[in-house]
Chain A
């Protein structure tokens, strides 16, 4: 029941007779906090070094037992005798003495105890057997003891040990509840408690909980709220981060997608769009455009000479239209030269084609503008077929035959009066064709009348 009896005895032996404490009264429970018999504190050296000294000491301690130590005793600073609210354990007189001394030291700055001595004493305390808390709390608890001892020079090391044992007993009972004790203290004392506690906590992590608690208490001025808040703080995720595995996975996925989008942005020109949807649109258009370019180039490679005279229709169509209609080759690119170039000059057309291809690489819009400037445009074969049949001009049906359509269209285009009508028709059918070919409204909107 009293594991610290040994220490108590030793302590008792050294204490003044008046301070003899019946061992049986010792209770290593939380009541320890309440035990505050009259305490003889013959050796009080009120100094005024205050908190900085204490912080120094405390920073070396591996525990935050401060609060525990402090909590049971809340006599006012000026009071050298601990309040009698802790009368349960008479045997803890010397504990109280020590505690009060500690308090005194805290209040007064603790005099000039050497940290080395403190550490030594701490270690001694730490070595006390059977006290898991000793490591954690003993250090802190012993600190005041050391203070007392060093300053008071009245206690010898055995006393310290004994005191430490008792203090540990006290401390054992404290647990988290000891924190509450701090609230009971006078306003002056909490400051001291919190201050050293804060110093402790910052350097130590007493169970990692007390530290946070202490810090919290410092901030809030109340340690009670710290203990329950600690677990909450632990569990509650930081803003923007979730602890839920699903949301974490979701976040990872989103991040990866954002990464890819950024990479794509560099590849695709006109990638200044911040909107994901528009960015995707841009990417899609670009892919279509590149595929179209491959087709165009493969066409032009057919000798670049008389074999293929590129035909350009009047309808500026997005590359997507042509691609849509291809579906594996159905729609090759056709270019119908308009009245601007009455003679189907293959070379010039080829040059134009290359120009267009070059422009298309940079900017589809500029390519279209270039074509329009020349009175040309791109058009899918099916559309050209529809146009040719619709205009009732006698020409060979253009069914996936790139070059065959050249001549008939050229012939028809050569007609001055017919070209405007055809162009109009082209636009109209293009509008319809667009709707039929590609359901997206934007393509229809892009059709422009020459």
Chain B
């Protein structure tokens, strides 16, 4: 029915970018068929001139300006959604480094594993932390990353499996290598 043109200032066809892969896609197909049925019923009873255009349901994503929510509001909420999708169970933790004047806050959920996190920290604070080894921690590096866990204990980053780390880490502190020695896991 409605194959209208969306009159957006920057010609963006955001309407067509709406994801149809949401829960309920099957429902949308059911909707289509029930829509067709109700139209047919009305055409029999009411003798309305239901032309072909009207009976064929348009793909729902292409209906311009429906539902009637202003594009400004839609955009704001979509952007929020994007941000929150990426950190749907986001974990913002403070990161400090000995000697640096400013804290940073990072979302550790953004990283997939320890190497990712370490590289990011090294870039953020312009330091080198080397590679973690079970036996020796970050021995030999100028700096070592440590974290405070749920129980308030300070641990070396890498001591526990990544997933456990992500859920238990409360804050990060990049210590001088010499000070971190005592935290090595037995």
Same complex origin of A and B: no
